[in-house]
C-alpha cells in the first residue's frame, strides 16, 4: 500500500533507535482485539517514554514595561510612515504582553493600522477584530477601530460587513472625547461612506449568481431522510450495498441533500470558520484568543464551538496539529470524539462503542438506528461507516494506534478524566474514527479566482474536510451518473443526476476517478490502493477508451435504433452548433435542452460516444456554480 501520511516513521524510527522495534508488528498482529492492540501500543510508547509530559510549550514571556516601550517605538516608526518596521515592532510588543491586558489590545490595534497603510486589508481586519473581541481596548478609541475595520472591509469588497462596522462606529462615538464640531464632521463622513456601501451592495446583488433552493425528487426517503424517495438500498454481488432507483430518474433530479456529521478547515487555512455547524468560507475571520490556531466568523460561532468541545481541544490544539499522519484528519477525529463525548457523556460513549461490533452488523442495515432510520447526524451511523480495518497493513495500523495513544494522552493532560478500565475501548474507538475518516472524508473546494472566467477549466483549492455519512452510501463508478451540484464550497451537499437513471439501476458517484481522463489500469490501481476495492463499472469491464480516443462520428456501429438514425444525426449537428455558439458560462440557461439531448443519445446511441460525453460535461459544469471569487492563499505558519 502506498504510504501518504506525513512523518510515517515518527514512532517506528524512535523504537528502532532504542532497538525495540523488533517483533512489534508480529506482536501487534497477535493481539485479538482492537482494544488490546491499543493497550499494547500504549504500553510500548509509555515504556519508551515517548509521550509528552506537560502541555507547556515555550516559556511564556510577559513583560508589560518592555512591551509598552516596544509599542511606543512602533508608534514613532508609524509617524515616520515606516509602516513595515512599525508592524514588526508591534509584533514584538505583542509577544511580550498577556493577551488579557490592555497593552496587548493596543499593540494589536496599532498593528492593524500599519497593515491598513501597507494595503494589507485582510491582516488589518484580523488584527482590528482581535483587539475588539479582547474587550480591553480603551472605549474612547473603539469608534476608530470600527471605522478602520469598515474601511478595510470596503476595500475587500465586503460591503455588507463594512456597513455594519460603520453603524457600530457611529454608536460608539459618544464615548470618544472629540469636540462636538469634530464629532459632527466625523459623523457626516462615516454616513457618506456607509451610503456608498449600500449602493455598491445593490450592484453586487444584481451581478451575483444565487443558488436555487433544491428539493429532493419525490420528496424525502422514508428511512434515509437525506435521500430521495425514488431510491432504495440493495445488495449487489460485486459492490455490496448500494443505492438503486425505484423509478426512472432524470438528469437534473436531486437525489441527495446531506449535511456533514463532522467537518473542519483543511490544513492551516485561516479563512474558514472552525465551528462544525458553520464552516463558512470568509476572509479575515476572528481568531480564537487563546490558542490562535482556529478561526471563527463571529463570536456566536466561537461560543458554540467552545460548547461543542473546543474548550477541551484549545489547550492541546498545538499538539494535535503537530501529531504525524494526516494532520487535518487527526484534528477532525479529535473534534468528532469531543462532540460525541460532550453530547453523551463518557459512560454512554463507552457503552456504545463497547457494544459496537463490526462482525455483528448486517450489511444491509449497517448504520441504521433502532427505529430503522439512517441519519447523517447520528454518531453510530457515522461510526459504522466502512473503515477497511482488517485490510490495513500492520505498519499502518500500528501508526494509527500510536496517533490514538497520543491523542488520548493529550486529552488527559488537558484535564479529561478517563477511568483506566475505559482506556482500551475509548482508545480503540479513536483508532476506528481515524480509519473511518481516512477512508470516507471528502475535501470541500473553492474555485481559484485567477481562472474563474474559464468555467470549463476551473481550478479549485481544497479548504475544508467533511464526512457525509449518507453520501457515503453511493458506490463509485468511473462513469458517475450523479454529481455534486450548487455552490461548491457549500457545507450542505446536493447530489443531482447528470445522466438518465432507469428504474432498477444503481446510482453512482465518483471518488475522483473518471474514465474520460484516466485509463483502465491507472483507475484500477487507485481504486485498489486508495479505497481497497476493485472497480466493476461498465467502462472498466468493457475497457472504454479515454476521451481522446473516443468515437466522434455517428455510424451504424453505435446507433442502437436504426429507425431513429436520421433524427439523432440532425440533433447531433444542432448540438455541435450549440457548443460552438453558446459560451460555457451560459450553459446553465440551456439545461433543459442539454437534458433532452442526453436523454435522446442515452436511448439511441451506444457509448462511449464523444458528443454524449461532451453533453455530460456541460451538464455537470452547469450544475455547479461558484459565487465565491475571493480566496486567500495566505497561510499562517
Ligand atoms: Zn461561523
Ligand atoms: Zn482555541
Ligand atoms: Zn471503473
Supply 92's cell numbers: 514584538
Could you say which ligand is closest to the alpha carbon of residue 292? 2
How remote is the CA of residue 285 from the centroid of ligand 1, in Å?
9
C-alpha cell at 618: 456541460
- Ligand 3 centroid vs 579 CA: distance in angstroms? 28
> What's the CA gap between 79 and 538, in Å, rounded?
70
First to last CA, the chain: 31
- The ligand whose atoms approach the alpha carbon of 272 most closely is 1
- Quick one: pLDDT at residue 321? 85
Q: What is the bridge-based pairing of β-strands 475-476 and 482-487?
A: unpaired
pLDDT of the residue at 132: 86
- For 212-240, the pLDDT digits (tens) are 688 999 999 999 999 999 999 999 988 88
Provide the pLDDT for residue 557. Answer: 64
Q: Which ligand is nearest to the CA of 310?
A: 2
Q: How far is the CA of 311 from the centre of ligand 2 (A)?
A: 7
Give the C-alpha separation, 411 to 243, whole Å.
39
Cα separation, 635 vs 275, whole angstroms: 19
- Ligand 1 center to 14 CA (angstroms): 40
Backbone angles phi, psi at 58, to 5 degrees: -65, 155
Query: Residue 395 and residue 1: Cα distance in Å, rounded?
Result: 10
Cα 437 from Cα 432, distance rounded (Å):
9
Question: Residue 630: what pLDDT?
Answer: 37
What is the pLDDT at residue 364?
Answer: 86
How many angstroms from the chain centroid is the CA of residue 508?
22
CA of 345 to the centre of ligand 2 (A): 22
Task: Quote the strand ranges of 406-512, DSSP E.
Answer: 442-447, 460-467, 475-476, 482-487, 493-497, 508-509
How many CB atoms within 10 Å of residue 374?
21
- Give the model's pLDDT for residue 452: 33
Cα 167 to chain centroid distance, Å, stands at 33
**DSSP-derived secondary structure letter, 208:** -
Contacts of residue 118, Cβ cutoff 8 Å, sequence gap at least 6: 83, 84, 87
Which ligand has its closest atom nearest to the C-alpha of 508? 3
Q: Which residues of the chain have pLDDT under 50?
A: 1-2, 58-59, 448-458, 629-637
pLDDT given at position 9: 83
CA of 45 to the centre of ligand 1 (A): 38
The ligand whose atoms approach the alpha carbon of 526 most closely is: 3
Please check whether residue 374 is in contact with residue 470, taking contact to mean a CB–CB distance below 8 angstroms: yes
How far is Cα 592 from Cα 622, in angstroms, rounded to an integer? 11
Distance 531 CA to ligand 3 centre (A): 12
pLDDT tens-digit series, residues 67-99:
888 899 999 999 999 999 999 999 888 877 787
Closest listed ligand to the CA of 275: 1
Q: How many whole angstroms separate alpha carbon 86 and alpha carbon 77?
A: 5
Ligand sitting nearest the alpha carbon of 544: 3
According to the model, what pLDDT value does residue 59 have?
Answer: 41
Tell me, in angstroms, the distance from the centre of ligand 2 to residue 273's CA.
12
Contact partners, residue 344, CB within 8 Å, separation at least 6: 352, 379
Nearest bound ligand to the CA of residue 273: 1
Amino acid at each position: 500500500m502506498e504510504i501518504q501520511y506525513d512523518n510515517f516513521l515518527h514512532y517506528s524510527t524512535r523504537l528502532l533507535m532504542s532497538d525495540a522495534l523488533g517483533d512489534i508488528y508480529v506482536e501487534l498482529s497477535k493481539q485479538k482485539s482492537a482494544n488490546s492492540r491499543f493497550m499494547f501500543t500504549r504500553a510500548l510508547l509509555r515504556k519508551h517514554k515517548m509521550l509528552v509530559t506537560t502541555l507547556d510549550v515555550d516559556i511564556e514571556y510577559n513583560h508589560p514595561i518592555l512591551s509598552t516601550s516596544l509599542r511606543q517605538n512602533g508608534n514613532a516608526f508609524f509617524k515616520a510612515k515606516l509602516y513595515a518596521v512599525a508592524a514588526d515592532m508591534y509584533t514584538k510588543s505583542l509577544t511580550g504582553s498577556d493577551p488579557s491586558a490592555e497593552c496587548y489590545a493596543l499593540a494589536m490595534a496599532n498593528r492593524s493600522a500599519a497593515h491598513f497603510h501597507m494595503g494589507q486589508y485582510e491582516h488589518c481586519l484580523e488584527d482590528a477584530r482581535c483587539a475588539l473581541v479582547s474587550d480591553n481596548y480603551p472605549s474612547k478609541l473603539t469608534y476608530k477601530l470600527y471605522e478602520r475595520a469598515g474601511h478595510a472591509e470596503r476595500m475587500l469588497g465586503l460591503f455588507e460587513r463594512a456597513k455594519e462596522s460603520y453603524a457600530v462606529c457611529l454608536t460608539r462615538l459618544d464615548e470618544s472625547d472629540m469636540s462636538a464640531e469634530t464629532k459632527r464632521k466625523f459623523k457626516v463622513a462615516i454616513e457618506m461612506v456607509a451610503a456608498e456601501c449600500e449602493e455598491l451592495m445593490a450592484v453586487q446583488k444584481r451581478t451575483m449568481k444565487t443558488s436555487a433552493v433544491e428539493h429532493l425528487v419525490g420528496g424525502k426517503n422514508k428511512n434515509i431522510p437525506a435521500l430521495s424517495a425514488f431510491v432504495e438500498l440493495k445488495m449487489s454481488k460485486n459492490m455490496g450495498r448500494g443505492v438503486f432507483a425505484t423509478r426512472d430518474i432524470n438528469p437534473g433530479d436531486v437525489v441527495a441533500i446531506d449535511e456533514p456529521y463532522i467537518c473542519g478547515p483543511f490544513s492551516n487555512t485561516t479563512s474558514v470558520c472552525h465551528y462544525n455547524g458553520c464552516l463558512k468560507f470568509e476572509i479575515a475571520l476572528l481568531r480564537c484568543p487563546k490558542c490562535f490556531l482556529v478561526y471563527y466568523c463571529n463570536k456566536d460561532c466561537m461560543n458554540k464551538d467552545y460548547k461543542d468541545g473546543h474548550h477541551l481541544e484549545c489547550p492541546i490544539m498545538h499538539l494535535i496539529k503537530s501529531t504525524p499522519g494526516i494532520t487535518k484528519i487527526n484534528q477532525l477525529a479529535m473534534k468528532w470524539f469531543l462532540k460525541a463525548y460532550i453530547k453523551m457523556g463518557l459512560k454512554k460513549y463507552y457503552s456504545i462503542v463497547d457494544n459496537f461490533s463490526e462482525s455483528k452488523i448486517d450489511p444491509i442495515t449497517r448504520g441504521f438506528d433502532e427505529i430503522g432510520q439512517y441519519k447523517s447526524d447520528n454518531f453510530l451511523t457515522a461510526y459504522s461507516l466502512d473503515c477497511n480495518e482488517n485490510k490495513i497493513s500492520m505498519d499502518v495500523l500500528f501508526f494509527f494506534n500510536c496517533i490514538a495513544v497520543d491523542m488520548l494522552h493529550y486529552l488527559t493532560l488537558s484535564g479529561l478524566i478517563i477511568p483506566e478500565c475505559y482506556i482500551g475501548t475509548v482508545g480503540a474507538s479513536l483508532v476506528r474514527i481515524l480509519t473511518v475518516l481516512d477512508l470516507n472524508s471528502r475535501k470541500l473546494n473553492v474555485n481559484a479566482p485567477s481562472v474563474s472566467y474559464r468555467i470549463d477549466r476551473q481550478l479549485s483549492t481544497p479548504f475544508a474536510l467533511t464526512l457525509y455519512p449518507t453520501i457515503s452510501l453511493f458506490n463509485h463508478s468511473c462513469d458517475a451518473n450523479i454529481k455534486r451540484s450548487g455552490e461548491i464550497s457549500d457545507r450542505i451537499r446536493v447530489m443531482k443526476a447528470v445522466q438518465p437513471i432507469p428504474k432498477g439501476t444503481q446510482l453512482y458517484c465518483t471518488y475522483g476517478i473518471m474514465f474520460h481522463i484516466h485509463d483502465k489500469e491507472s483507475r484500477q490501481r487507485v481504486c485498489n490502493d486508495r479505497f481497497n476495492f476493485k472497480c466493476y463499472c461498465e467502462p472498466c469491464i468493457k475497457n472504454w477508451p479515454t476521451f481522446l480516443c473516443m468515437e466522434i462520428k455517428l455510424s451504424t456501429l453505435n446507433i442502437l435504433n436504426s429507425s431513429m438514425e436520421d433524427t439523432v444525426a440532425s440533433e447531433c449537428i444542432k448540438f455541435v452548433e450549440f457548443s460552438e455558439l453558446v459560451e460555457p458560462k451560459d450553459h446553465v440557461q440551456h439545461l433543459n435542452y442539454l437534458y433532452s439531448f442526453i436523454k435522446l443519445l442515452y436511448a439511441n446511441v451506444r457509448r462511449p460516444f464523444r458528443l454524449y460525453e461532451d453533453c455530460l460535461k456541460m451538464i455537470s459544469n452547469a450544475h455547479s456554480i461558484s459565487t465565491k471569487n475571493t480566496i486567500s492563499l495566505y497561510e499562517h505558519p
